[in-house]
């Protein structure tokens, strides 16, 4: 379908703007492996410090890039499937808030005023522009839901009584409502703790509470990144794989989304297994729900594989009776039509297989003692968010840009090879990081000047080989990205050959049941919020009333002297010292 001029500009902006920033994000990814392996033995390179680059890598790649692409994809999905125009004013307000917010945070990060990493754990404190910018980005990202998507969804429901809303719309709606719920704790943290301290309005606050609020957001957010990829796997992948494929089961897909609604929230304590201040039985409850939230992903693995099998077997009768050979008929590398996109999804899925297993390891409570804060963790999430999520987002960005601009995809060959280079690089990276992590190699550390420096008294030779392997992997990943970028920017700068449209290849469902319980969102979300609140009451009680003895002032990353000087904390500390 055709897209109105102004809305088209916004959606294109929401794709191209974060991708220009992503170039910095990926560049700093390469710098990370070089620093960590000691290829760069320094605190900084070209004026950007290691930890500053790590902050940029994290914030750009998983906060700015993911959020803006998800909003762009959501806009396109609602537009295409509901056939209802989006409101230009809403779209512009949302886009400009996100851009201004991103630029504010980027200014703070590039000038070194926010070397706090993308988790911004208190008592390290950044420039207020970092927090206010991040808040604007997040506020901008929820505006389309309230003022465009929900009104259009309600109007569509009225016009189509008794009909199921298209699966892609269902998925994106679920995803964005989850997004609004998960933002509540982090908004409380930023507005009532971090911004006041960074502005000097209050001298100190509670670091354990701020971590707990952060992870109440920080875990569900990974599903906010993942569900759009699942929408693509359910609706787009089966269709393009043979040209007429089908989704195995519509209800299973909706059921998986709803399990995410239930179980995405009461799980944040699995990021806090090793911390004091929270009673371990509450952590065990969150471990239980974390294993529960693995279930919808396993259902998705089944549904997606079954859809692939059905689609392949209906086109190739010769493999109809085979258990394994149909895998060989998947167009892993094909230039025909939209089949280039299959490479992105398949490479992503193969990485996600590894990421799922390592994720279950991380979630397993006492097993987490072996891997917490080691390089095992970045190894894990580079195959999930850096694997399936990023690859499907890169693929769909290229796809949407070519449709919206009415251009053919240029350098399609490079575009098809890119995800496989990325896949290979990530696999090597994940192997090296995970195994080194089991041997205690820490994450978030400029190891090149200490632990991996033969001249340092801290030298740990057992980590050297793994770190060198990540350098090799890093170059392959970046080469994959360069191939993709050549195709992406080649497409953008090529002449227009068609009318601007937006359309998505959409698989219809093989098994399509009427399951009214799966199409009523309100009760599922009501239970979900209840579970969220109940699962956090004991933990919040611990970190505010029982386990934390005093609040802390804020610190700059360069100095052990607090930048906000509270007298009360000093007295408290003296009192406790005397009491002992």
Partner 1 sequence: MDRAEKGAFITAVAFMGVFFALIVYAAKGLNIDVPTCITDVKPFTQGQVIQHAPDRYEIHYLAKMWYFEPANVEVPVGSTVDIYLTSADVIHGFQIDGTNVNLMAIPGTVAYARVKFDKPGVYHIVCHEYCGIGHQDMATKIIVKAGEQQ
Annotated active-site positions, please? Answer: 219, 223, 380-382, 443-444
Q: What is the 3-state secondary structure (H, E, C) of 107-147?
A: HHHHCCCCCCCCCCCCCECCCHHHHHHHHHHHHHHHHHHHH
Smallest distance, partner 1 to C-beta of residue 193, A: 14
Q: Which is nearer to partner 1, 88 or 442 (CB)?
A: 442
Smallest distance, partner 1 to C-beta of residue 94, A: 32
Considering only residues 427 to 446 of the shown chain, the ones binding partner 1 according to CB under 8 A are 439-440, 442-446
Q: Any idea how long the chain is?
A: 580
Q: What token pair was written down for 463?
A: 């980590």
Smallest distance, partner 1 to C-beta of residue 260, A: 14
Answer yes or no whether residue 207 interacts with partner 1 by CB under 8 A.
Answer: yes
- Only one of the segments 103-111, 156-164, 201-209, 501-509 lies at the binding site for partner 1 (rule: CB under 8 A); that segment is 201-209
# chain residues binding partner 1, by CB under 8 A: 84
Answer yes or no whether residue 562 interacts with partner 1 by CB under 8 A.
Answer: yes
Answer yes or no whether residue 218 interacts with partner 1 by CB under 8 A.
Answer: no
Answer yes or no whether residue 214 interacts with partner 1 by CB under 8 A.
Answer: no
- Only one of the segments 89-97, 315-323, 346-354, 539-547 lies at the binding site for partner 1 (rule: CB under 8 A); that segment is 539-547
Q: 117 phi and psi, to 5 degrees? A: 65, 170
- Only one of the segments 182-190, 295-303, 499-507, 529-537 lies at the binding site for partner 1 (rule: CB under 8 A); that segment is 295-303
- Only one of the segments 148-156, 179-187, 216-224, 548-556 lies at the binding site for partner 1 (rule: CB under 8 A); that segment is 548-556
Q: Which is nearer to partner 1, 20 or 579 (CB)?
A: 579
Q: Which is nearer to partner 1, 250 or 430 (CB)?
A: 250
d(CA 101, CA 94): 11
Q: What is the 3-state secondary structure (H, E, C) of 182-225?
A: HHHHHHHHHHHHHHHHHHCCCCEECHHHHHHHHHHHHCHHHHHH
d(CA 339, CA 320): 21
Helical packing angle, 128-144 and 66-82, nearest 10°:
10
Answer yes or no whether residue 193 interacts with partner 1 by CB under 8 A.
Answer: no
Answer yes or no whether residue 298 interacts with partner 1 by CB under 8 A.
Answer: yes
Answer yes or no whether residue 194 interacts with partner 1 by CB under 8 A.
Answer: no
Query: Residue 516 contacts by C-beta under 8 Å, 6 or more apart in sequence?
Result: none
Answer yes or no whether residue 328 interacts with partner 1 by CB under 8 A.
Answer: no
Q: Which is nearer to partner 1, 121 or 325 (CB)?
A: 121
Asked whether the beta carbons of 238 and 308 are under 8 A apart, the reply is yes
Among candidates 366, 389, 479, 365, which has minimal Cα distance to 425? 479
Smallest distance, partner 1 to C-beta of residue 310, A: 11
Smallest distance, partner 1 to C-beta of residue 190, A: 17
Interface residue with partner 1, options 139, 294, 319, 482 (CB under 8 A): 294
Asked whether the beta carbons of 303 and 283 are under 8 A apart, the reply is no
Q: Which is nearer to partner 1, 287 or 427 (CB)?
A: 287
Considering only residues 360 to 379 of the shown chain, the ones binding partner 1 according to CB under 8 A are 360, 364-370, 372-374
Identify the H or E element spanning 44.
Answer: strand 44-45
Query: Residue 496 contacts by C-beta under 8 Å, 6 or more apart in sequence?
Result: 405, 406, 407
Considering only residues 448 to 487 of the shown chain, the ones binding partner 1 according to CB under 8 A are 449-451, 458, 460
Answer yes or no whether residue 302 interacts with partner 1 by CB under 8 A.
Answer: yes
Q: Which is nearer to partner 1, 217 or 340 (CB)?
A: 217
Residue whose pair of structure tokens reads 């809403």 in the numeric block:
90
Interface residue with partner 1, options 43, 89, 353, 527 (CB under 8 A): 43
d(CA 84, CA 152): 7
Answer yes or no whether residue 511 interacts with partner 1 by CB under 8 A.
Answer: yes
Query: Residue 89 contacts by C-beta under 8 Å, 6 or more apart in sequence?
Result: none
Answer yes or no whether residue 579 interacts with partner 1 by CB under 8 A.
Answer: yes
Handedness of CA 545, 549, 550, 551 (dihedral sign): negative
Smallest distance, partner 1 to C-beta of residue 325, A: 19
d(CA 510, CA 239): 12
Answer yes or no whether residue 314 interacts with partner 1 by CB under 8 A.
Answer: no
Among candidates 272, 235, 241, 236, which has minimal Cα distance to 253? 235
Q: Which is nearer to partner 1, 58 or 331 (CB)?
A: 58
Among candidates 99, 105, 22, which has minimal Cα distance to 386? 22
Answer yes or no whether residue 243 interacts with partner 1 by CB under 8 A.
Answer: no
Answer yes or no whether residue 61 interacts with partner 1 by CB under 8 A.
Answer: no
d(CA 323, CA 301): 17
Considering only residues 111 to 170 of the shown chain, the ones binding partner 1 according to CB under 8 A are 115, 117, 121-124
Interface residue with partner 1, options 57, 127, 283, 313 (CB under 8 A): 283
Q: Which is nearer to partner 1, 1 or 46 (CB)?
A: 46
Q: What token pair was written down for 205?
A: 């606050």
Q: Which is nearer to partner 1, 100 or 435 (CB)?
A: 435
**552 three-state secondary structure:** strand
């Amino acid at each position: 379908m055709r897209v109105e001029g102004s809305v088209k500009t916004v959606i294109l902006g929401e794709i191209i703007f974060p991708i220009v920033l992503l170039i910095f994000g990926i560049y700093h990814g390469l710098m990370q492996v070089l620093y960590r392996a000691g290829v760069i033995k320094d605190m900084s390179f070209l004026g950007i410090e290691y930890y500053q680059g790590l902050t940029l890598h994290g914030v750009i790649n998983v906060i700015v890039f993911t959020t803006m692409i998800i909003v762009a994809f959501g806009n396109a999905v609602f537009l295409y499937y509901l056939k209802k125009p989006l409101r230009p004013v809403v779209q512009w307000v949302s886009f400009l808030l996100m851009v201004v917010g991103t630029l504010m945070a980027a200014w703070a990060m590039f000038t070194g005023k926010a070397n706090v990493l993308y988790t911004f754990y208190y008592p390290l404190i950044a420039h207020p522009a970092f927090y206010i910018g991040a808040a604007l980005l997040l506020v901008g990202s929820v505006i389309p839901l309230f003022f465009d998507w929900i009104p259009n969804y309600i109007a569509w429901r009225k016009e189509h009584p008794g009909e199921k809303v298209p699966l892609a719309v269902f998925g994106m709606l679920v995803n964005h409502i989850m997004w609004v719920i998960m933002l509540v704790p982090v908004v409380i943290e930023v507005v009532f703790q971090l911004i006041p301290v960074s502005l000097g309005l209050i001298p100190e606050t509670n670091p354990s509470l701020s971590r707990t609020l952060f992870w109440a957001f920080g875990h569900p957010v990974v599903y906010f990144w993942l569900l759009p990829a699942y929408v693509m796997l359910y609706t787009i992948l089966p269709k393009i794989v043979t040209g007429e494929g089908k989704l195995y089961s519509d209800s299973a897909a909706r059921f998986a989304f709803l399990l995410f609604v239930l179980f995405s929230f009461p799980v944040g304590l699995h990021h806090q297994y090793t911390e004091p201040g929270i009673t371990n039985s509450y952590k065990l409850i969150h471990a239980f729900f974390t294993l529960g939230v693995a279930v919808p992903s396993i259902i998705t693995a089944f549904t997606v594989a079954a859809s692939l099998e059905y689609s392949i077997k209906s086109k190739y009768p010769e493999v109809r009776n085979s258990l394994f050979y149909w895998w060989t008929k998947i167009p892993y590398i094909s230039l025909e039509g939209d089949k280039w996109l299959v490479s992105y999804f398949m490479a992503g899925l193969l990485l996600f297989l590894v990421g799922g297993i390592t994720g279950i390891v991380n979630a397993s409570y006492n097993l987490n003692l072996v891997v917490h804060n080691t390089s095992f963790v970045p190894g894990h999430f580079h195959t999930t968010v850096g694997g399936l999520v990023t690859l499907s987002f890169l693929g769909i960005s290229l796809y949407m840009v070519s449709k919206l601009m009415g251009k053919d995809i240029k350098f399609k060959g490079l575009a098809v090879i890119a995800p496989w280079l990325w896949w290979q690089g990530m696999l090597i990276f994940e192997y090296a990081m995970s195994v080194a992590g089991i041997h205690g190699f820490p994450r978030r550390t400029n190891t090149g000047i200490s632990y991996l420096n033969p001249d340092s008294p801290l030298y740990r030779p057992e980590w050297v080989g793994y770190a060198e392997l990540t350098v090799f992997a890093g170059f392959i990943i970046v080469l994959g990205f360069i191939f993709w970028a050549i195709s992406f920017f080649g497409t953008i700068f090529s002449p227009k050959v068609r009318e601007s449209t937006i359309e998505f290849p959409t698989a219809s469902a093989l098994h399509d049941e009427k399951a009214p319980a799966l199409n009523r969102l309100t009760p599922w979300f009501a239970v979900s919020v209840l579970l969220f609140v109940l699962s956090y009451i004991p933990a919040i009680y611990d970190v505010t009333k029982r386990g934390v003895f005093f609040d802390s002032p804020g610190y700059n990353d360069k100095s052990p002297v607090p930048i906000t000087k509270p007298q009360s904390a000093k007295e408290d500390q003296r009192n406790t010292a005397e009491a002992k």
